[in-house]
Structures are given as C-alpha cells and as structure tokens.
Copies of this chain bind each other. A is one copy, B any other.
Amino acid sequence: MDDRIRAHAETLVDWSARVDPGDEVVMRVAEGAHDLAVAVAAELGARGATLLATYGSDEVTRAYLRAHDDEFATPDAERALYEEADVYLSLGGGRNTTATADVPGERQGAYARAREDAREARMATDWVSTVHPTRSLAQAAGMSYEAYQDFVYDAVLRDWESLADEMGQLKDVLDAGSEVRLVTEDTDLTLSIENRTAVNSAASVAYDSHNLPSGEVFTAPADAEGHVTFDVPITVQGRRLRDARLVFEDGQVVDFSAAEGEDALAALLDTDAGARRLGELGVGMNRGITRPTDSVLFDEKMAGTVHLAIGRAYDACLPAGESGNESAVHTDLITRMDEGSRLLVDGEVIQRDGLFRWADGFES
C-alpha cells in the first residue's frame, strides 16, 4: 500500500476527527475508496474505536432511486445508527462522477428530504468528509491518475498545525474588522463583516472544520457593493461556468454576465431571493492546492484565491440567534488573488499580490 494512503488515514483519524478510544465510528466507503477504508480501519482498530462501514455506492443509489416513486419513507434505522455514533467519516471517491446523471432531480430532492432527520443526526457527530483519489476523479480533473494522486496527497498531507496557526492570524483580523474590500483587475467589491465570526477551517472538528483537505478562513458577509469577476471556472448543475461577473447594489446582484454558462448562472440566481445575496466570503490558504480541478472541495481552498458563495450562510459565522442569508443554494464562485490584487480589512492591506502581510516578500 502507498504510504500516503496510510498517512491520509492517520491524518483523518487523528488530526481531523480526533477519534478517542471507545468512540463509535461509522465510516462511509464510496465505490472506489476501498484502499483508504482499509487504512482507516487499521487506524480505528489501533485506537480501540468501534467501526461500522456503510457502502456509499452511487450505482446502488441510482438503481434504488430510479425504481422508487417520488414518495419516500423516513428511515428510522439510518437515523438510529447516526444517533448512537460519535464520529462519521465519509470516504468519497467513486468510479463515475456522473453515475446518477439519469436520476430526476426532483426524486433526488424528495429522497434527501425524507432523510433529513438522519442527516441531522449525522451532522451532530464529529463528522469529516474526505476523498480517496480515483481514476474517475482524475478524469473529472482532466489529469492523469498518478498526477491526480500527487495532487490529492499534496492537498491532504499538510502541516495542519502550522497552517491552523497561520489561518488563525487571518481569523483574528476578520473577527476584529468591519469591512472587507477585494480588488483585482476585474473586481472592486466592498463587504460588511461587522459582528461576524470567521471560521479557521483547519480540517479538524476541533476547529469546526469538517473537510479534509481544508485550508480556508471564511465568514458571512453582508451589504455587498461593487463588482466581482470569478476567473476560476466551475461546474454548476452540470454546466460549465467561466468568467462569471456579478454587480452588487445594497447587497443584491443587480447585473451579471459570464463568458460561458450565463444561462446556468441566471437559473442559479433565480432560485430564490437569497440566491441573489452572498452567504460566504472565504479565503483559500492551502498551498498544496496549486491548480483548479473542477471540484469545489479542493478549488475553494486553493492558496491565492478568494471565493464568494451565493446563497445560504453558515450559522457558525453569525451572532447567536441571528439568521444570516437564507437560500436553498450555496454555490461557491472563485477568483484568483494574484499579481495586482489586494484584500483590505478596514482600509488596511492584509493581502497583496496573493501574499499575506505576515509572509516573506509582502510589500506594505
């Protein structure tokens, strides 16, 4: 077995999920994630945790959903499983990223709604999502298998402790600040972050961070004014979206365009009222991620990028009792902060040309 698979498993169990002896662990294994599952099982065994593995097969789900009608019963068994679990580890990595492409969206939605109680019980555990590099994911990224493996392990096998420290510096700035301004060649956007709390997403439940890899600091902005262009292409509802440009007034999108996928962007913005407002401002700080791979799990963490999500805000960023922007969607749009870019908090330059003010080479 590739030593990096073992290191991935150890990072997941120790740094990310903080598994303790006696913890009850449910591990979801995607069709292509067998090797990582074997490595994680060894880590769990060594720590004296319990283990129940579930099979997260897209092909099984597709067959089930296509044969089912649109009325789903609420599964008590699945809910009961998660209610008794302390930790939930999702090992993604399928064999075909489009395995459920021929399942109607309404049916997928009805199925998700019927399992809402189970989902809530699962989210109440110390849950962590990660992915095992598969050929299917390499293909989706437009990469060879070997290069994609290198890519994933560069992203996952970081010195998380030191990255968490670095990200803590940005969190402190954002927590203390009231206003963020983003400037690039095609962007000049001002956002309020008054009374909002930033999350230091350091790929560990100890930081309220549930993805491995992670490596971003994010908060919930309000009152967007100005324009922003997203030069990292993404796929939205199966459609390519390139160079999306949004214009904001009073926090709301008043104009938009895209070099490709403008229809998909229009449909997204029309989902509901909250889909025209921002739910997240995130700053990618994972230097292991050096290129986009059309996977938001990785792309939004890329060092030297900032992302803004249209739609729902995360509760963790909001004052207790306050609900932020609400929407059925949360779609991350990403822009590069390279040569000529600035990120300012309350007028002070925090990042210039992609370099933070605490980095070597930063020009104040």
Chain A residues with a Cβ under 8 A of chain B: 22, 24, 26, 29, 31, 34, 37-39, 41-46, 48, 50-57, 59-61, 63-69, 71-73, 75-85
Contacts and interface: CB of A to CB of B under 8 A. Distances in A.
Contact of A41 (B26, B54, B61, B75): B61
A80 B71 contact: no
Given A64-B42, A76-B84, A77-B84, A34 B57 contact: yes
Most B C-beta atoms less than 10 A away, residue of A50, A61, A85: A50
Contact of A76 (B24, B51, B57): B24
A50 B66 contact: no
Contacts of A50: 72-73, 75, 77-78
A60 B37 contact: yes
B81 A64 contact: no
Contacts of A78: 50, 52, 81
Contacts of A22: 73
A85 to B, nearest CB: 5
B34 A34 contact: no
A22 B34 CA distance: 31
Nearest to A54: B54
A6 B297 CA distance: 36
Contact of A69 (B48, B68, B71, B73): B48
Contact of A55 (B55, B59, B76, B85): B55
Contacts of A63: 38-39, 41-42, 45
Nearest to A46: B67
Nearest to A115: B50
A75 B52 contact: yes
A6 B42 CA distance: 35
A329 to B, nearest CB: 27
A60 B39 CA distance: 8
A37 to B, nearest CB: 5
A106 to B, nearest CB: 15
Nearest to A88: B77
9 closest cross-chain pairs (CB), A and B: A45-B67, A45-B68, A77-B84, A53-B55, A41-B64, A50-B75, A45-B64, A80-B80, A81-B81
Contacts of A56: 53
A81 B77 contact: yes
A326 to B, nearest CB: 29
Contacts of A69: 48
B45 A57 contact: no
B67 A77 contact: no
A66 B45 contact: yes
A134 to B, nearest CB: 15
